[in-house]
Structure 1
Amino acid sequence: MEQQALVIALVGVLGIGAQWIAWRTGWPAIVLMLAAGFLAGPVLHVFDPRAAFGEMLTPMISLGVALILFEGGLSLDFRDLREAGDGVWRLFLFGIPLGWLLGSVGLHIAGLVWPVAILFAGILVVTGPTVVIPLLRQANIQPRPRAILKWEAIVNDPFGALCAVIAYEYFRLSGNGQTLFEVVPPMIVAAVLAGALGYLAAAAIAYLFPRGLVPEFLKVPVLLVAVITVFVAANLIEHEAGLISVTIMGVSLANMNVQSLRSIHPFKQNVALILVSGIFILLAAGLKFEELRYLEWRFGLFVLALLFVIRPATVLLSLLGSSVPWNERLFLAWIAPRGIVLVAITGLFALRLTELGYSDGNILVGLSFAVAVTTIVAHGFTINPVARLLGLKGTARPGLLIVGATDWTVALARQMCELDTPVMVVDSSWERLAPARQQGLPFHHGEILNESTGHDLDLSGFQMLVAATDNEAYNTLVCNEFAHVLGRDAVYQLGDEGDEGDPRSLPQSLRGRALFRSGLGVEEVDERQRQGWAFRKTRLSDQFGFEDAKEALPEANQMLLLVKPNGNLRVFSHASQPTPQAGDTIVSFSPPQPRSSPVAKQDPDNGKTRKQVQTI
């Protein structure tokens, strides 16, 4: 018992630690997790998951995969298919059979007997949200190719498992004289029943939650238990049909407009992150060097063929005649990392194939890890360069999202545009947006809290949000809503946080960060705007540092933002004090009368640096 608890703690430390290092360094998190698990298991022998958990390891991983697929399904909104639908349906209808066929031929050429080659090729059609979504989270890709990759990863996963089940059942029953037409229809019926079970479960949740038939504190437990129950029940209908069931349950719930699910979004996202981290560590740590001894040079060539021939041919043939541009087709043809589902399902069927008398089944575990590691490393480290080469990178510099169109916010947006920071001014009033439109500033007409706004407005390129309407309660609501998207430290609003004991002040746990250290509110900045206050930018250098800037700016000046050379934004707030360095630019809100300032210049007479007075 103590050993199992220690293993669980180590898995958590390694998994979340790898995620943190990935965040700090920008390296692919999946690569770091695989490396951490591999070092802890077969290399250093710190722990062995199979010895610690025994027969419980497989069901634990299966339930984890089910919850991950369900959470991924919850992120799939049919409105995303308005632009990406053509590519998604083609990769599903044509990509799965094409990938299965080409993979089977390649594996057979590599030396596997046909039954083993066909079964493993069926599993290889999966990519998986556990690897694709973390890559997309770290890489700023344009919306359409990002949506296609996300949909393909989540939808193809259960159907790849179904392909393996069909192949296995056929080879198992063919010895009894049953033909393909006798085996496949029952499998399809089982898949339909599993999908119907998932849809009915989603409909039940959508009926119970909004009507208050489930109390708020029980909604998350009920949802988790429902997912596990549906997964297990569908598996009783047919092996691995549970993956289809939970995926359809998630997609159905995502499109039933269940408002109650918005409040549990951060929880389910955190659960998925923990499960992904833990499962990757467990699978990598459970690998044995003995399982790799079956791999020969021919299988290395197959992995290369999978990267450079099979996947590109599958995507390019599937998208022939589609509306997807060629640069996006080439990008999709390259990015196809494999992960948890591939390794987990392969391990299950490798044992079954061995029991049926196919000795090649022993090769599949090592080969699945070789495919997973190679694709994760290859695609993880090249997704950004390839996207940049094909012109599919999103906005390179982090953006600022401004909610509320006022004279002050329009002036702020204009100043940030001059610093090449992507800006978007959002307001529900077309009239209030008039100054932004007249000055050619990017704007969005709509209610930021409306769920459809997330589909009409791509928020992936924005690093920070400023809520600055004339309604403090509304600003608080906006900050609280977007805190789980951008981070609590990246949502700001005007006004002081106030005294927690003051019954008139809004709870600090709901408010965004105060935008000014002095706590300037909406009325104060509007009044100063009318008095002629304006935004000023001050660039720092080795000769003109932060202390010089403070001396140069008026005494009443309010420092607001620090813009790094790479575009990252830092706020001068009471909660944080950024450290300005040479090359940074300070954005301040200043009185109309600047004062003279000492600016470092080079003396042409003696080559020495001297101070000279210059107006900013």
Structure 2
Amino acid sequence: MASPDVAGLSPINAIALVGALGVGAQWLAWRLQLPGIVLMLLAGVIAGPVLGILDPARDIGPLVAPMVSVAVAIILFEGGLTLNFHQLSDAATGVKRLVFVGAPLGWLTSAMALHYGAGLGWQASAVFGGIMIVTGPTVIAPLLRQAKLGRRPAALLQWEAIVNDPIGALAAVLAFELVVVLNTTETVSHAAQVLALGVVVATILGALGGYGIARAFKQGWVPEYMKVPVLFVVLIAIFAASDTVLHESGLLAVTIMGVVIANAELPSYTELRRFKEHATVLLVSGVFILLAASLDFSTLGQLNWRAALFVASVILLARPATVLISLLGTDLPWRERVLIAFTGPRGVVLVAVAGLFGERLAALGVADGALVAPLAFVLVAVTVVLHGFTLTPFARALGLTGAAVPGVLLVGGSRFSLALAQALGKAEVPVLIADPNRARLRAARQAGVNTFYGDVLSEAAEHNLELAQYGRIIALSDNDAYNTLVTTDLGPEFGRDNIFQLARHKGDLARNALPSSLGGRAFVAGHNFDELEANMRAGHEMRCTRLSDEYGLEEWQADAPEALIVMAVDPKGNPRLPSGDKALPLTADWQVIWLDPKGTR
């Protein structure tokens, strides 16, 4: 509860503070390499119930509830956008089992843990149990990057989180709709009619909204610059229209709308989804801060030993039973099954949706509704902290960790890329060469270098190439436009600091040059493909030299004054690339990868 001695903020200042706390916590988490949800939780609780600086009910007033409702609707719509049936049909058997068997089974086991563990009634348990199907896609991704899991268990955990995200929300919405009609109608038959009407209307509105958007975008009825605004307006209109028929059915409608658009094969789907992901980051931050700041310590005080029993039963019983039963009969090794069974962090979506439904349940007179939000906070905090600190050693103990250091993905097969890959191999850095031309990979395959035949931006690469294992991407093909496309497209995912490309060829006409704002950072002191290939044909050799206290940078530079530094590997085995005016601190135990112009030395 906010302290009565603290003056309230104006609504504008309160909203600004919510944004600053949410985004600031996520940025700080990125800098400290910690789960963002933990810092957002701390920021909201400290600013809200601890210090009383922010009290959403006091500072923002009656707008808090509709703001949270619209934000959750947009979050669930973005979750629906991730459910592409074509991609799911191409997924491994294990993923399908975790979705088709694991989702309903997880709903049942979670509801049982809530009822018998936390002591909630069946109505609140059914709603909250549906939300608990979601394993936190926003939390899984950074955990997988941190743990460096092997390819198959990482793919299973990631796909389960992505696909079950909208399914869990959908299950919670359906359960909540049933609770609503049971508590607002006089007879069971009337309740069933109201529920059926609401579900049918929500399904029709969501399908029509998704189909209308897809057709309008495909037919060019909406210009590019208006696609995102039109999408948001239609989304909110569908949400409001469905809610008018049956309260909270709008969440079901927008989820279905997202699924329809995801499977419409829109040419602009990637751009729409990327913008939606950015918007979702802001909305998730805002919702999480609002919910954390609204947390009442007196409500937390209602939690007793049964809350600990509930969390323990979810981690040790409900989650393992769901996974192990779902994966029965598959050829998945037992170690991978155990790892997946005991890895189930919950994330922001669970807290956001649980907080909203908890308030709605309490308003309907469901006494246990007030406990849903605090239980969600406790579950998320425990699972995120637990898995954040134990996933890496647990996976290492099972022998399921991938590369010890982030690898380097070289896009484009050539003499230079092969020589660089071999030098990185000597430095014990994982490396892969990708090229859509099989002939260009022949020499690399013969040399024993890992290769990927295909376009790194293709759907095949999305399913078969585990990009999370690579921390740096270097575009080395002879096509400047393709290099620019790859680095521009993958830049948001890997970060601009980790994306590099060769210098572009200088054309005779300036109008033919690509914009400098596109592409990655300069690689190898601004050399282009032709220059490097000419050097390789002239007999230049790629070398890897380890510096030491006895043979440091000055001694090496004296021996190789004409050397061209390509990249370096720090003492921890991480690949580092020089960029701009920022020189690498080449000290003892650093390995320098360089191009020797004198050939044999």
Q: TM-score, normalised by structure 2?
A: 0.88
Q: Name which of 181, 204, 214 aligns with 1:169.
A: 181
Q: Are residues 70 and 500 of structure 1, via their aligned partners in 2, closer, same or farther at CA, if it must alter by over 3 Å?
A: farther
Q: How big is the shift at 1:533?
A: 0.5
2:172 maps to 160
Is residue 500–residue 508 contact of structure 1 (8 Å, CA) maintained in 2?
no
Of the three residues 181, 188, 203, the one matched with 1:178 is: 188
Return the letter of the residue paired with 1:164.
F
The corresponding residue for 2:57 is 50
| CA-CA distance at 1:385 after TM superposition | 3.1
Whether 1:578 aligns to 2:584 is: yes
Distance in 2 (CA, whole Å) between partners of 1:198 and 1:462 is 38
Q: Does 508-517 or 361-370 show the bigger shift?
A: 361-370
**Shift of the alpha carbon at 1:47?**
1.1
Give the one of 40, 43, 54 matched to 1:36: 43
> 1:215 matched to which residue of 2?
223
1:560 is paired with a residue of what secondary structure?
Answer: strand
Aligned residues: 589
Return the letter of the residue paired with 2:66.
P
Q: 1:431 is paired with a residue of what secondary structure?
A: helix
What is the aligned partner in structure 2 of residue 465 from structure 1?
473
Q: For 2:173, give the aligned amino acid.
A: A
Q: 1:196 Cα deviation (Å)?
A: 4.1
Q: Alpha carbons of 1:374 and 1:565: their partners in 2 closer, same or farther (altered >3 Å)?
A: same
1:397 matches 2:397: no
Deviation at 1:445, TM superposition (A): 1.7
How do 1:260-339 and structure 2 match up within 5 A? 260-339=268-347
How big is the shift at 1:219? 1.5
Amino acid at match of 1:153: D
1:417 CA displacement: 1.8
Alignment correspondent of 1:254: 262
Partner of 1:538: 545
What is aligned with 1:13? 20
Cα deviations by residue, 1:254-313 (Å, 9 ceiling, x for unpaired): 333222233345433322222222222221111111111211222322222122122222
In 1, Cα distance between the equivalents of 2:270 and 2:128?
A: 38
Return closer, same or farther for 1:575/1:68 CA change in 2, 3 Å cut-off. Answer: farther
Alpha-carbon distance between aligned partners in 2 of 1:466 and 1:381, rounded to the nearest angstrom: 31
Amino acid at match of 2:228: V
- What is the aligned partner in structure 2 of residue 145 from structure 1? 157
The residue aligned with 1:521 is 528
Paired with 1:65 and 1:139, the residues of 2 have a C-alpha distance of 30
User: What's 1:607 paired with?
Assistant: none
Counterpart secondary structure, 2:45: helix
Within the candidate set 415, 425, 440, 2:423 is matched to: 415
Aligned pairs for 1:554-565 within 5 A: 555-565=561-571
> Partner of 2:5 in structure 1?
none
| Residue matched to 1:600 | none
1:127-142 → structure 2 map (5 Å cutoff) = 127-133=135-141, 135-136=143-144, 138-141=146-149, 142=154
Q: TM-score, normalised by structure 1?
A: 0.86
Structure 2 unmatched ranges of 5 or more: 1-7
Q: Is the 8 A contact 1:398 1:422 kept in 2?
A: yes
Q: Does 1:187 align with 2:195?
A: yes
Deviation at 1:532, TM superposition (A): 0.9
Specify whether residues 527 and 370 from structure 1 end up closer, same or farther in structure 2 by C-alpha distance, changes over 3 A only: closer
Read off the aligned partner of 1:581 and give its amino acid letter.
T
Distance 2:431 2:21 in 1: 38
Quote the Cα distance in structure 2 between the aligned partners of 1:381 and 1:500.
Answer: 56
**Cross-structure match for 1:599:** none
Indicate which of 196, 202, 205 corresponds to 2:213. Answer: 205
User: Contact (CA 8 Å) 2:82, 2:163: kept in 1 or not?
Assistant: no
State the distance in 1 between where 2:273 and 2:499 align: 18
- Tell me the CA shift for residue 432 of structure 1: 2.1
Aligned to 2:382: 374
Question: Which residue number in structure 2 is paired with residue 598 of structure 1?
Answer: none
One-letter code of the match for 1:568?
A: N
| Partner residue of 1:225 out of 228, 233, 236 | 233
Contact 1:123–1:163 (8 Å) recurs in 2: no
1:363–1:82 distance in 2 versus 1, CA, 3 Å: closer
1:107 is displaced (CA, Å) by 3.7
Task: Say whether the 8 Å CA contact 1:80–1:147 is kept in structure 2.
Answer: no
CA deviation string 1:447-485 (max 9, x = no partner): 334344323322222222222222323322332222223
Q: Is the 8 A contact 1:132 1:150 kept in 2?
A: no
How far apart are the structure 2 equivalents of 1:26 and 1:248? 35
CA separation in 1, counterparts of 2:141 and 2:245? 30
Contact 2:68 2:356 in 1 (8 A): no
Q: Percent identity?
A: 41
